[in-house]
Structure 1
């Protein structure tokens, strides 16, 4: 029996208006498509992540529940495959904000980990910096510098002239800075902490 791929593949649709956000330590700053904004304190927040549907399409749904507020965020439905009726997934709340996939995944990871930077790689910190406020991005960059230094010292020893190795260790942050102003803030902070020069022409 021939499978009807139209039920499972993506189709072209207009982008859903996006909800933007920025992390600032324990705070989440949300900007909605209509211009409204909201600041949420995340300490004690209960987070749940699950599959859901919106307009019969698969989405990822994150619910943030605080004492005085609840926020629901989903991935873009127009980018999700069409969900057959047999999927039996819950429908995402109609008021859920739509967030780009990469940003959604970064926020979900941050919330599930309890909002901790410890044990993160430079690449993971680079992703985190992309969704941070400018000041928090600088703090992330300084932490990325420590992670890079520890990595190089473990590999080469602390006595070696390791400027080039440190620059290489920061490469994930360099790449992120090419397309993100906040990652660029983090990179400046990391290079300042390490005394590593930028690339020629940068």
Structure 2
């Protein structure tokens, strides 16, 4: 299983495959959350992250330094002071689970933590949106698209559909990533596409 963070995709389609050191550095629930906030909302300080996460600024500062050590994030040049540093996530798609990473027990454990925490956050974000959307008529009218579909594919057909969808996402992220304005808000683009187990049929039924 190769799992990529689609929050940002470079126009060239290049992807950073995390090595064992970077993967282990990210394998902490709070660091995954920090990485996700920087991906979705842009540069933050230890104080702003602490407020959002309900942690102390000392804790977020420690985790920021751990992430920066492996170039998962970086300090924003020319912004902030010695006491209040700003951090950002470099642009680009990141592959957080690969066959190579899971060949060792430590790599498998780190991959499991990062992937599980990432998708737990995605599920919580979806549930918060649904709760807010149904809290008032105005919220229901907020633009969103939630849909599912079922089909039957060969491996080659799956690869084709996956690549076509990924190309659309890459083009959209590249075109709109830097726009700003009163009516602009961050959107999470999520792709779920996976095989389903066939139901077991008992003999004679």
**TM-score interval, normalised by the smaller of the two chains:** under 0.3
Q: Which has the higher contact order (CA 8 A, sep 6+)?
A: 2
Bigger proportion of residues as helix: 2
TM-score normalised over the length of structure 1: 0.23
- TM-score using structure 2 length: 0.23
